[in-house]
Amino acid sequence: MSAGGLVLDGLSHAFAGLAVVREVSLSVKPGEILCLLGPSGCGKTTVLRIAAGLETPQRGRVLIDGREVVGPDILVPTEARNIGLMFQDFALFPHLKAIDNVAFGLAGLPSAQRRAAAREALERVGMAGAADSYPHTLSGGEQQRVALARAMASKPSVMLLDEPFSGLDARLRDRIRADTASLLKDDGTTTLMVTHDPEEAMLMADRIALMNDGRVLQEGAPIDLYRHPNSPFCASFLGETNLLEGFIKSGHAETALGAFAADGLAEGTPVEVHVRPEGLGLGTAETADAVPAVVIDARGLGPFARVRLRLGNGGPEVTVRIADFDLPRPGSRVTLTVDPAMVFVFPLQDR
Ligand code: ATP
């Protein structure tokens, strides 16, 4: 296991004068899985490529296990960084058997030792039986496992993964994600993984760094980002939200769903209020704080159902998530209660 992990310090990079990475600083602690999450084009892959040595940043430093590999006076090449790499198109060599693909990453060891280490890596990903198969005879998921074995075989201290599961179908993806996370954890491998999929980041990461427009906007444990987003972007990127608008009155955001505490915002400030669908409770009790609504439609999705409602008399539309049984009929009158922990208030931003 490594001491020091991966440190990215003040990275900035532009392509043809267009800034795509702006002052990105991140530390991935030894043995930690950090997911760099963000929409397409926000600069995540460029950050990963800089860490890998496939791109040279215009500013900033990279340290691996306390050793500077990128800095004003130093540039250590990819192969001398002690990293494992796995990209979206995991590109196995088509003319090499699975075992030779894995052994390829172990240059420097005597041949017998190389094959033994490659076989062990294939065993760990459940692919020992396919050691002598060529890539084109393997399914996408099997090829992905071989690529993972190749990336892990040399026991790198830092693993860099770029959307490694995006080519796989949903069921296979779930299993391979879980297997990959537990292999990385077992080895204590420091991991930086790029994904645009919040669910994948929530499943795999110890910590998430959320990026947009070249910058890291928020960093923390997945559940903290979900429950305490620091911006409208973070609130809506991490999960579905209902968006309402309102104003600050007596320290509270007044909306069609009620008034919510909003410390530090001046009287009269226009605000946008994000409410997670699971923060709304559906019932019929007409208590003082319950908000009347009319059901627009209800759709069962298996594990839960999504109900669309119109608030009050011609008020805004909201979506609620409930258990998938006994769904309310369109047109029926219901009431909503709100869990304030699932309500996030921000000053209204120009859109
Ligand atoms: P995606 O999830 O779509 O891969 P990303 O967040 O990983 O997106 P990057 O691949 O880092 O984003 O790209 C950031 C921006 O930099 C994009 O606008 C992209 O077009 C641009 N870009 C990336 N590589 C180059 C390059 N070699 N030359 C010019 N522009 C580039």
Question: Which residue of 11, 12, 15, 40 sits with most ligand 1 atoms within 8 Å of its CB, as the best mutation to test the pocket?
Answer: 15
Protein residue closest via CA to atom 5 of ligand 1: 41
How many Å lie between the centroid of ligand 1 and the Cα of residue 157?
26
Is 177 close to ligand 1, i.e. is its CB under 6 Å away?
no
Q: How far is CA 27 from CA 30, 134, 201, in A?
A: 9, 38, 17
How many Å lie between the centroid of ligand 1 and the Cα of residue 308?
37
Is 13 close to ligand 1, i.e. is its CB under 6 Å away?
no
Summarize the confidence of residues 159-179 as an average pLDDT.
Answer: 84
Residue 44 has pLDDT above 90, yes or no: yes
Q: What is the DSSP letter of 183?
A: H
Mean pLDDT of all residues in the chain?
91
- Quick one: pLDDT at residue 24? 98
The lowest-confidence range among 36-45, 142-151, 273-282, 302-311 is: 142-151
Question: Which residue of 11, 20, 166 sits with most ligand 1 atoms within 8 Å of its CB, as the best mutation to test the pocket?
Answer: 20
Is 42 close to ligand 1, i.e. is its CB under 6 Å away?
yes
CB contact at 8 A, 259 and 327: no
First and final C-alpha spacing in the chain: 46
Pairing, β 258-261 against β 252-255: antiparallel
**Backbone region of residue 44 per phi and psi (left: phi > 0; alpha: psi in -120 to 50; beta: other values):** alpha
Summarize the confidence of residues 259-265 as an average pLDDT.
Answer: 91
- Quick one: pLDDT at residue 87? 83
Question: Considering only CA atoms, which of 275, 278, 280, 198 is closest in space to residue 241?
Answer: 275
Q: How far is CA 188 from CA 3, 126, 181, 219, 304, in A?
A: 11, 19, 10, 21, 36
Q: How far is CA 323 from CA 51, 79, 108, 308, 331, in A?
A: 44, 51, 57, 14, 19
- The C-alpha atoms of residue 34 and residue 235 are separated, in whole angstroms, by 19
Is 157 close to ligand 1, i.e. is its CB under 6 Å away?
no
Which contiguous run of DSSP H or E holds residue 18?
strand 18-28
CB contact at 8 A, 5 and 28: yes
Model pLDDT for residues 24-43, shown as the tens digit of each residue: 999 999 999 999 999 999 99
Is 49 close to ligand 1, i.e. is its CB under 6 Å away?
no
pTM confidence score: 0.89
Who's near 25: CB < 8 A, 6+ residues apart?
Answer: 8, 9, 10, 11, 60, 216
Model pLDDT for residues 212-239, shown as the tens digit of each residue: 999 999 999 999 999 999 999 999 999 9
Summarize the confidence of residues 206-216 as an average pLDDT.
Answer: 98
Is 287 close to ligand 1, i.e. is its CB under 6 Å away?
no
Summarize the confidence of residues 60-67 as an average pLDDT.
Answer: 96
- State the burial class of residue 4 (Cβ atoms within 10 Å of its Cβ: 0-12, 13-18, 19+): middle
- Quick one: pLDDT at residue 2? 40
- State the burial class of residue 327 (Cβ atoms within 10 Å of its Cβ: 0-12, 13-18, 19+): middle
How many Å lie between the centroid of ligand 1 and the Cα of residue 134?
32
Is 56 close to ligand 1, i.e. is its CB under 6 Å away?
no
- The C-alpha atoms of residue 101 and residue 93 are separated, in whole angstroms, by 6
- State the burial class of residue 255 (Cβ atoms within 10 Å of its Cβ: 0-12, 13-18, 19+): buried
Is 57 close to ligand 1, i.e. is its CB under 6 Å away?
no
Question: Considering only CA atoms, which of 278, 339, 331 is closest in space to residue 305?
Answer: 278
How many Å lie between the centroid of ligand 1 and the Cα of residue 162?
13
**SS3 at position 302:** coil
Summarize the confidence of residues 12-23 as an average pLDDT.
Answer: 96
Model pLDDT for residues 102-126, shown as the tens digit of each residue: 998 787 788 888 999 999 999 988 8
> Could you give the angle at which helices 170-187 and 140-153 cross, rounded to 10 degrees?
10
- Quick one: pLDDT at residue 1? 38
- Of all residues in the chain, what percent are helix, strand and coil, respectively (each to 5)? 30, 35, 35
